[in-house]
Amino acid sequence: MATTKQTSPPDLLPLTPAVFHILLALADEERHGYAIMKEVERATEGQFQLGPGTLYGSIKRMLDMGLIEETDDRPDPVLDDQRRRYYHMSSFGAKVLKAELQRLENLLAIAHSKRALGGIV
């Protein structure tokens, strides 16, 4: 919200694991808090779990940084609870996620280039 205009994506790197996984969860569709939690659990095959405190602490900071936005759209009340807040990734958030993925790719390339690691990577 406040820092979007002044901050460039590389300034926010590296992302914390929670922020990274929440951005990934919101990359393809908007979700509410619990759906984000379940998507992160599914994508990481249970290796990374978010508790309610970490989830909403991260969401608060991501809203402040302009990485995500709250959407006004509400699902059909028959399908879901109207009180839930839905979030989607902002265009700035997409840029930050792209920059983070690029950073991770670079790291992976460096690791690949280290012959001493042999077949580890």
Partner 1 sequence: MNRMVLRPQQRLPLSLWIYRALLVLYPSDYRREYGPHMLQVFGDCLRDAHTQGGAYEVMHLWTFTLFDLFKTALEERSRQRIRLTKRTFVRLSGLAAMLGGVLWIAIIVTLASRPPGIPGRHREVNDLLAEILFALLLIVGGLAGAHTRQFSHSRWWGLPGVVAIVSAVLFFSLSQLAGIWQFDVFFIGYVLLILGSVLSGGVMLAGRALPRWATPFLIVGSLVLLGFNSDDARAYLALPFGAAAIVLGFALLLDKRMEPST
Nearer to partner 1, 86 or 92 (CB): 86
Residues touching partner 1, count (CB under 8 A)? 17
Whole-angstrom distance, CA of residue 90 vs CA of residue 70: 9
For the chain, the 3-state helix, strand and coil shares in percent, each to the nearest 5, are 55, 10, 40
Q: Residue 79 burial by CB count (10 A; 0-12/13-18/19+): exposed, middle or buried?
A: exposed
CB of 71 to partner 1, least distance (A): 14
The span of 2-10, 55-63, 97-105, 109-117 binding partner 1 (CB under 8 A) equals: 55-63
Query: Any contact of residue 53 with partner 1 (CB under 8 A)?
Result: yes
Nearer to partner 1, 10 or 57 (CB): 57
DSSP symbol at 10: G
Query: Any contact of residue 55 with partner 1 (CB under 8 A)?
Result: yes
3-state secondary structure of 5: coil
Residues that bind partner 1 (CB under 8 A): 33-34, 37, 49, 51-57, 59-60, 81, 83-85
